Structure 1
Amino acid sequence: MYLLVLVQILQSALSGVHSCPAACSCSYGTGGNAELRSVRCSDPRISSVPVNVPADTVKLRLEKTLISRVPRAAFYNLSDLRFLWLNYNSITSIHPSSFVNLKALRELRLDGNLLTSFPWEGLRDMPRLQTLGLHNNRLSSLPAHASLFLPNITFLDLSSNRLTVVPAELLDLWFPPPGQQGRPVQRRILGLHDNPWLCDCQISLVMSLSLSLGSPVVLMDQLLVCSRSVDQSGVLLGQTELSRCMRPSIMPAATRVISPLGSNVILHCEATGYPTPTLTWIKSSAYAVMQVSPRVGVRWSIIILNGLSYKDAGEYRCQARNMAGVSEAPIKLKVVGVTRLSRLPKRKYIKTPLKLSSKYRKLTQTTSETSSPPMKENQILQNITPPSISKAQTAANLVSKEFLADKRSKMNLTDANK
C-alpha cells in the first residue's frame, strides 16, 4: 500500500513537470541526439507569465498576450532555456532580476512592447546571451553603463525607438581603439535605424566607421536620419558636415617619472581631437591642475605636485574625452628617498704638529740656549717621545709633568715662608 502511494506521488510530480500549461501548446524538435521541447503561449487572455512551464523547455514563446510586467525570477526553473521570445505583448516594466538562472539562454527578444527602459544590469544573469532584440519599443535613452553588459552581444536591434544619442562608451565597445587592434575583433550586427538621432559626432562615427573596410560593426540599415534638435525634421546622416569628428588621441610628455622625496614635479599631457577634448587627471588625491587650449582641436594639461611624499607615488591617468570617444594615457610616478650606506667611509687623518704650551716653549728655548745646535720643535718631540707612545699620549704626559712641577714649586715657596 505504501509503495503504491509513493508511485502515485512520483507519477503526479513527473506529470506536473512534463505537462503543457493551459492555453499553451508544446512540441518537440530534434536537435542533435536530444529532443528539445518548445512551448508557445499566444492566448490574448494570458495576463501573467505562466509558472508551470516544463523544466526541460528549451524554447519559450509568450507572444501577443496581455502580459504587462515581468516579475523577479520569472523563469528561475527553466535552467535549460536557450530561446526566450516575449514579442508583441504589453510589457512596460522588467525587474532587474527577472532572468536569474538563465545560464544557457542564447536569444532574448522583446520586440513590439511598451518598454521605456531596459534593465541592462540583468544581462549579467545570461552570460551566454548573444542576440538581444528591442525593436519597436519606447526607449528614449541608452545609458553609458550598458556597455558593461554588452561585450558578448553580437546582434543588437535598437531600431524603431526614441533614441537620440549614442554614448561614447558604446563607441569604445563597438569600435575598439587602435591600441587594442591586436585582440580578436568580434563582429556585431546593429539595428539603429528609425530613431530621432541628434546630429553629433557619436552617430556620425558609427556611420562612417561601419562603412570602413573591415569594420567590426555591420548596420542592419545604413540610412540613418539625424536632426539638429529633437523637434526638427531629419536629414540623412551622410549629408551633414560632421566629417571633422575625431576621437581623442593623448601624447604624454613622459610615461615614467622618477623623482626624489620632497621635490616638485610637473606631469604634462597633450590631447588632440575634434571637438576639442577635455582632459581629466584620475588619482585619489586632489592636486593643482591647469588646462590650456592653444587652438581648436588641441588641449594640454599639467598637474603640479609640490613636496613629494611616498603617498604621491603611483599611476596617474590622463583621460581625454569628447563627443567622439574617450582615450587614456598612464603616467607612472616613482618617489625615491635617501639611500643609507651599509658601511661608513674611512676617515682620513691629517698629521698636524701639536701646539705646545707657553711654559713648554720656554723650556725648549732654555734647552736650546744651553745646547750647541738649535733644534726645531718637531725634532724636540721626536727626541722626547718614546717610539712606543703615541703623540697624543706624549702631549698629555708633558702637561701632567708641568702641572706637578708647578705644584712642587708652590709647596716649596710655602715652606720657605713658614
Structure 2
Amino acid sequence: MGPLLCCLGIAALLCRGLACPGPCSCSTKKNGRLLAECAYKELPEVPQGLSPNVTILTLSANRIGWLRRGAFAEVPEVQSLWLGYNQISGAEPGAFATLVELKNLDLSHNKMVTFPWQDLRNLSGLQILKLNNNRLAGLPRDAFQALSELRSLWLNDNQLTTLADGTFHPLPSLSQLQLFNNPFNCSCKLFWLKRWAESTSVSLTKGGSTLCAAPGRLRGRAVTDIPAQQCVAPSVQLTYLSKLDNTVLPDGLTLSLHCSVAGSPLPQIRWRIQTPGRGVEIDGPNVARDGSLSPSGRVKQSQERFLVFKNGTMAIPKFSKEDEGIYTCIAVNDVGTREVSVNVALAGSENPAEDLLQDDPHASPLGGRSCYKGDEMDPVGAGEKLVIVYHVPREVKGTAGGAVPRVGLATLLLALGIALGW
C-alpha cells in the first residue's frame, strides 16, 4: 500500500506542476525546468492559471498592450521571460518586482514609453535585458544600480537623446551594449559617454552606428567624435576680497568671497553655506544689476543675509561670529561639477598676527589672498581652510568726541591653510 500511495503523491505533484492555461502548452525540459509556451496566441494580457513552478514563460508575438502590477505574481520562479513583439506601451510599478529569480527579460519590439525602473532593484540576478525597438525617451541615472550580474543590455532603436553621467558604471559584468539608432543630442551632457566608450572593455555592438542627431554641426557623426575641446570640466578658484586700508567701517566688517570659474560651457555658480545655526543653499545671484535685492518672493529669508552677485562674488555685511562656518562655491556645467570650500572663522586679539601664527603653524605670509587653485581640485570637496582673524580695536575718539571703530591693515589678517587630504 505504501508504494502505491507514494506513486499517487508523485503523480499529483507532477499534475500540479504542469497546470497550464488553455491557450498555452506546457512541458518539462530535460534540465527539469517547466516551460509555458504561450506565443502567437493573440493574447490581450498575461494569462491566469499558470503553474507556480514555471521557470520559462514565452509570451512573444501576442497583443498584450499593458502590464499591470502583479501581472506575474503566479510565476515567482520564472527565470526567462519573453515578451517581444507585443504592443506593450508601459508597465505599472510592481509588474516585475516579484520575479526575483529572473535572469533573462525580453521586452523588445514593443511600444514602451514608460518602464518601472524601480522594479529592477529586485532583479539582482538579471543577466540579459532587452528593451530595444521601443519608444523610451530617457532613463534615470540609477536605473541599473542593482544589476551587478547584467551581461547584455539592449537599448538600441529607441528615442534616447541623452544619458545621465555614469548610467553604466554600476554594471561590472556588462560585456555587450547596444545603443545604436537613437537620436542622441551630442551636447556636452553626453561627453561622459565618449570618455566611457574610449576606456571601457564593453563591446558596443554597431558602435559606429551610435550617431549624433543634434546639434547640426555633429549630425551623422559618431558619439565618440564629440570634440574634446568643446567640453571642459569646471575649474574653480576661491579668493578673499578686502579693502585693506584705514577706512572707517562704522557698520563692522563686510566679508567678501569671490568665486572664479572656468570651463566649457561656462559653469554656473552655486553657493552652500553651513554655519552652526543654519544651512543655506543659493543657486544663483540674488542681487540685481542695480544693486537691489531680488524680489522677496524669490529669495528665502535665510538667504537674505548673503548677497550673491552675478560676477561670482558673495558679500556678507556685518560679518559676525554667527556667520562663521564653511562656505562652498560650486561650479556646474554639462561636463561635471567641482567645488571648493573655505572655513571662515572670526576672532579678536590685541596682537592678531601673533595669535594667528600660534594657532596655525602652516599659516602663509601675511597678505596672501588666493585660497584655492581650481586645477588642483580636492576630490572630496573639502578645499582649504581660510582663517580670518579680525582684531576688534579700542575705540578711537572722533573730532566731535564720539567713539568711532577703525579698522586698519594690521587688524585684518588672512591666513592660508593646507588643503585637506593633500
Matches within 5 A, 1:209-358: 209-210=196-197, 212=198, 214-215=199-200, 217-223=202-208, 224-228=210-214, 234-237=219-222, 242-253=227-238, 265-266=255-256, 269-282=259-272, 284-285=279-280, 286=303, 287-292=306-311, 301-306=312-317, 307-308=319-320, 313=325, 316=328, 318-322=330-334, 325-329=335-339, 331=341, 333=343
**Judging changes above 3 Å, is the alpha-carbon distance between structure 1 residues 107 and 185 closer, same or farther for their aligned structure 2 residues?**
closer
Counterpart of 1:58 in structure 2 is 55
Counterpart Cα distance in 2 of 1:330 and 1:275:
19
1:149 aligns with 2:139: no
Deviations 1:24-79 (A, max 9, x none): 23333456xxx322322103321110222221222222100111110111112333
**Judging changes above 3 Å, is the alpha-carbon distance between structure 1 residues 21 and 311 closer, same or farther for their aligned structure 2 residues?**
farther
Whether contact under 8 Å (1:56, 1:78) holds in the other structure is yes
Matches within 5 A, 1:169-208: 170-174=164-168, 187=174, 189-203=176-190, 205-207=192-194
**Structure 1 consecutive aligned stretches of length 4 or more whose deviation exceeds 6 Å:** 8-14, 238-241, 336-339
Deviations 1:158-196 (A, max 9, x none): 111222x214xx2234369xxxxxxx9665533111122
Structure 2 residues not aligned, in runs of 5+: 1-7, 240-251, 274-278, 281-302, 350-422
Counterpart Cα distance in 2 of 1:282 and 1:38:
57
Structure number having the greater helix percentage: 1
Task: Identify which of 36, 46, 49 aligns with 2:46.
Answer: 49
1:60 is paired with a residue whose SS is strand
Counterpart Cα distance in 2 of 1:337 and 1:9:
86
* Higher RCO (C-alpha under 8 Å, 6+ residues apart): 2
Counterpart Cα distance in 2 of 1:276 and 1:282:
19
Letter in 1 for 2:204: L
1:51 is paired with a residue whose SS is coil
Letter in 2 for 1:93: G
Whether contact under 8 Å (1:130, 1:152) holds in the other structure is no
Matches within 5 A, 1:14-25: 15-16=15-16, 18-25=18-25
Q: What is the Cα-based RMSD across aligned positions, in Å?
A: 3.9
Counterpart Cα distance in 1 of 2:173 and 2:324:
39
Question: Which structure would you say has the larger Rg?
Answer: 1
Deviations 1:317-342 (A, max 9, x none): 624122xx322436264757899xxx
Letter in 2 for 1:288: L
Identical-residue share of aligned pairs (%): 22
Deviations 1:110-135 (A, max 9, x none): 10001122232332332333432111
Deviations 1:223-280 (A, max 9, x none): 22223469x99523279663323352444549xxxxxxx9765555544432222232
Counterpart Cα distance in 1 of 2:187 and 2:235:
22
Task: Output the TM-score relative to the length of structure 1.
Answer: 0.59
Structure 1 residues not aligned, in runs of 5+: 1-7, 177-183, 255-261, 293-300, 340-418
Whether contact under 8 Å (2:236, 2:338) holds in the other structure is no
Counterpart Cα distance in 1 of 2:11 and 2:330:
67
* Worse overlay, 198-207 or 152-161: 198-207
1:206 is paired with a residue whose SS is helix
Matched length? 296
Counterpart of 2:99 in structure 1 is 102
Counterpart Cα distance in 1 of 2:23 and 2:100:
27
Counterpart of 2:34 in structure 1 is 37
Counterpart of 2:27 in structure 1 is 27
1:87 aligns with 2:84: yes
